[in-house]
Structure 1
């Protein structure tokens, strides 16, 4: 679920050893999927799926879990999707930008792929609420085995843990982030050790590595076979994180951590739980904790709680990262982004996102009350995102890479078939409580598309009354106004028209600066732009210049710092001689053709509450003049 999960403690691959990167990747990338043994088999054998805790039932389920991990995670994500990087960056927004570039010759296909990517990103936010809720609840529920009569304390304790986690976000996670990797290495080691302990008791569970048991389960239970995938998918939670965190760790450390540590730990633990159930069918009530010896129960609860906090932290950080990318690509209103570290660019905090997630998570915990109830509602969003990732990757492989179709098509069809089966198995959950992430995702999808469309309409409306730049400059040459010293920088989205702020300034103040710069900040589809390609300048005469500043979608658009890269003698961007002019639009909904009235009202609300360009572009407070413009939609 932690798409685009940004490590709060990740380090540059250049500065960090391979072992350190592997340990860090284990702590951040695999926190989500690493805690899935807490509830997966417990949910599978809960009773409402009708799976019997007998020899064939246990081996069939273990085979499904094992081969799902091999096909979906190992083959699809580790060996295939991780290669679809956008200049080293991963995550669904990076993949969407890559797919849009691949489908550029086909405008309709490009629009469809972008909409798919946006919907997948929107579904992530719904998932990012369920992940902390189900993980922490499942860990705290272990106390029910250790203490009698504590059932009514599970929900309050889970709420306290989760609220504390959200409260510390604004302080950054650099200090506690140091322990993420070692704790998760210990976690996976303990998972494997407990699994071996169980397997030794009933070694016949190893027969489940034969895919025939999974096939036989489908043959014997044709109806249940597909439905049970709705529970088996819990073992795959967090698979998207492998791709999302690639920019922080690189493909090799993530792949090595999976092959050498995570996959063995998970498989051994699932098989150990299966062995326990074979020996004692009543252990299905909580096979994870019952697999541990009695003396280790409380330490396991403490370790599991810490592991689920780490998993939740990765998801929350991922929400911050995804939001920043969406802002840069123009799909989300600008928000105040606080950097919590002076060394690591990925350590950011977005208050609006943090508090919205906290409210959603707390409501889920209070509303569902148990990890079992949440598990019954979980899976729609994550399988939808997995399916969308396959579709976007297909466009990249076939259109951008131009891979041999005889090789690519069968592989992609295999991914598509499995993802479709998982999605179909989870679709009925929409009517069983699973509507929450879908509703949240749909609402965010509407918000993102409304914002993007609204911004486009504003540009179109302003263009209707725009004055062509060559005509304006020729009029200035014919009738020169009074020129004052300094450099005036006017931010504008148009390269060939006069900004409204410039016209208003000339109309009201009847002066022009000796140097007038029309500045456009361009967000590229690539994650980073080299410093040498940051600055583009064009002179028009009469002291007028056109400047483009190029930024990647994960970079912070610091305009004053970028302007310092200009080495033209005739342009001076010294702080004390440079004034920035901004135009702030006020939207007036009308009956003109554009968007539905309710979407116009929504856009007007978003525009009014969006973070100003002043803060977003890091402009100096005492060097900015903001001029208002009314726009009819």
Structure 2
């Protein structure tokens, strides 16, 4: 397994003729998509560090101590851990906790307890990531619109309504895709970071003393002065690194080099200049701590900055929303959530998708958060705990990958993982202290999501076991059937089944009720690989088992949307089977779940699984099978 990240095919990173122009375009695109979340943190991080919740006084030593912690958090957690090291852990060019989980599972035998534990960690991390992810649009847009209080205090009562209008419009527009607006994301975000750097530099010139905060001694001195109680300020410092894990998640869109260039040479300097500038402003005027970001903006630029900040937070929210679609599709492919309807919003870019169920669920949660918490300071108390837990899980999975798959690098990566583990635990403890102030929400949401994902996964296993108990072995069934064959009709029948060795229920019901057998019968199994994309050589395998029966396996990567008819068209290349779309009928068994107290799961989980199963998207939608070529045959299964 390679220990370096590889840009996805077609990314243009190494495309001939692109040269510097091609790389510059990728860097700008990465800035627009990858860094939106972490780029809006300056709106609220410094302000929250000096909120009454932490009881800090904005004096010289404390300001330098907080700034020093922010600088070193960005350097160690984002720059070293995510951008420099963890982006090496690519899964065929893709990143994110689901891809890292699939990569770490290769370290252990398939089906082993260790591989199972890694799967649990990955799903828990994905659930927690989503739990804090829904807070990002709410806190970001609220923080931007709250600039109205600085410009015109009388507009305070309009902050929440304006925020809701922006967020609802953003979610409602998702069905149309982002191809058009996506082209302007990069330039707007570049302008945003340039403005951050300019504002920071302007304020630093008024109080250059703030540059001493780069010295880690000021962070150490903060802990010396505040003893162990000082660890709780990390609950605010973590706000500066939220979005760091998204850098790894979005790696597959651009490849590692554009992301690294954008971070090292543009985004990180802009962020640090702005944080230092806010600190200089507070040193000069402690009263500015009420909103140091907007107070530091010149009067003539305040309205334009509010507009630019709102646009930047909308872009950051867009990245979170599309990230939610991507994680949901991966979870579907890996069998952790029910099938959902997926709409492709671009005929040119396969990665641009829209999942209505995820979109409207996220919108309902985000709107509820804005109405419940009312301001960004209250939301900041809820923000960070799930991200800290996700970062901790990332570190554990990274250590597994480094230990097993990186023999040449593990001597220096593993000690760094130990350092990252200490930092992650410190962040988790600090955020745990905010549970009663609102941090309970992402934790509860993460637990609910984890329960749903695990129930679906386990329920599918129990359902498969029950169907196998009642199933007939294929190798015994076909010879027996051919002793007294039924009437055969023209065409091809495709029976979808998850168990290659058992007769599909749909075939048995078809023989029982229709009393016919097609000229060609295909037992089709769809498998999901632990790589993002299946190569042409692995896509399809065909095994002829005689008498017009064929066993076909179609494989997709966990980043792909399954298109079964298109995959079957490749069968002609194998020469043994040709699928005519107009003569092919797909047969699917749709089970009705009946819960039982004496079987695989507790009754409440059986019933939960039954509800999820009943509301799963039909097979023809998920596998892109034409509805007029599909026959569904029902079956009742007790679990």
**Structure-to-structure mapping, 1:215-234, within 5 angstroms:** 215-234=220-239
Matched, 1:596 2:602: yes
Contact kept in structure 2, 1:141 and 1:154, CA below 8 Å: yes
Q: 2:199 aligns with which of 188, 194, 204?
A: 194
SS of structure 2 residue aligned to 1:90: coil
Contact kept in structure 2, 1:487 and 1:572, CA below 8 Å: no
Q: CA deviation at 1:152?
A: 1.2
Stretch deviating more after TM superposition (93-102 or 22-31): 93-102
TM-score by length of 1: 0.97
Structure 1: tracts of 5 or more residues without a match: 1-9
Q: CA deviation at 1:480?
A: 2.1
Separation (CA, whole Å) in 1 of partners of 2:151 and 2:409: 57
TM-score by length of 2: 0.96
Contact kept in structure 1, 2:531 and 2:557, CA below 8 Å: yes
Separation (CA, whole Å) in 1 of partners of 2:603 and 2:111: 31
Q: CA deviation at 1:345?
A: 1.2
Separation (CA, whole Å) in 2 of partners of 1:12 and 1:72: 28
Separation (CA, whole Å) in 1 of partners of 2:386 and 2:439: 8
**Structure-to-structure mapping, 1:411-426, within 5 angstroms:** 411-426=416-431
**Structure-to-structure mapping, 1:200-219, within 5 angstroms:** 200-219=205-224
Contact kept in structure 2, 1:27 and 1:183, CA below 8 Å: yes
SS of structure 1 residue aligned to 2:134: helix
Separation (CA, whole Å) in 2 of partners of 1:403 and 1:429: 41
- Identify if the C-alpha distance between structure 1 residues 148 and 409 changes in structure 2 by more than 3 Å, giving closer, same or farther: closer
**Structure-to-structure mapping, 1:463-612, within 5 angstroms:** 463-567=468-572, 568-612=574-618
Contact kept in structure 1, 2:493 and 2:521, CA below 8 Å: yes
Q: Which residue of 1 aligns with 2:359?
A: 354
Q: Which residue of 2 aligns with 1:374?
A: 379
Separation (CA, whole Å) in 2 of partners of 1:169 and 1:487: 39
Q: Which residue of 1 aligns with 2:394?
A: 389
Contact kept in structure 1, 2:109 and 2:115, CA below 8 Å: yes
Contact kept in structure 2, 1:37 and 1:266, CA below 8 Å: yes
RMSD value, Cα: 1.4
Q: Which residue of 2 aligns with 1:621?
A: 627
Separation (CA, whole Å) in 1 of partners of 2:339 and 2:47: 42
Q: CA deviation at 1:468?
A: 0.9
Separation (CA, whole Å) in 2 of partners of 1:366 and 1:405: 48
Separation (CA, whole Å) in 2 of partners of 1:105 and 1:590: 30
Separation (CA, whole Å) in 2 of partners of 1:157 and 1:105: 51
Contact kept in structure 1, 2:402 and 2:414, CA below 8 Å: no
Q: 1:79 aligns with which of 73, 76, 84?
A: 84
SS of structure 2 residue aligned to 1:583: strand
Separation (CA, whole Å) in 2 of partners of 1:259 and 1:314: 20
Separation (CA, whole Å) in 2 of partners of 1:237 and 1:623: 47
Separation (CA, whole Å) in 2 of partners of 1:320 and 1:447: 17
Contact kept in structure 1, 2:11 and 2:255, CA below 8 Å: no
SS of structure 2 residue aligned to 1:259: helix
Contact kept in structure 1, 2:148 and 2:155, CA below 8 Å: yes
Stretch deviating more after TM superposition (586-595 or 60-69): 586-595
Q: Which residue of 2 aligns with 1:21?
A: 26
- Per-residue CA deviation, residues 504-558 of structure 1 (Å, 9 max, x unaligned), is 1112222111111100000101000111221101111111110000100011111
Separation (CA, whole Å) in 2 of partners of 1:216 and 1:165: 44
Separation (CA, whole Å) in 2 of partners of 1:596 and 1:105: 26
Separation (CA, whole Å) in 2 of partners of 1:570 and 1:388: 47
Structure 2: tracts of 5 or more residues without a match: 1-9
Q: Which residue of 1 aligns with 2:36?
A: 31
Contact kept in structure 2, 1:11 and 1:344, CA below 8 Å: no
- Per-residue CA deviation, residues 436-457 of structure 1 (Å, 9 max, x unaligned), is 1111111010000000011111
Q: CA deviation at 1:429?
A: 1.5
Separation (CA, whole Å) in 1 of partners of 2:165 and 2:289: 28
Stretch deviating more after TM superposition (583-592 or 97-106): 97-106
Matched, 1:275 2:280: yes
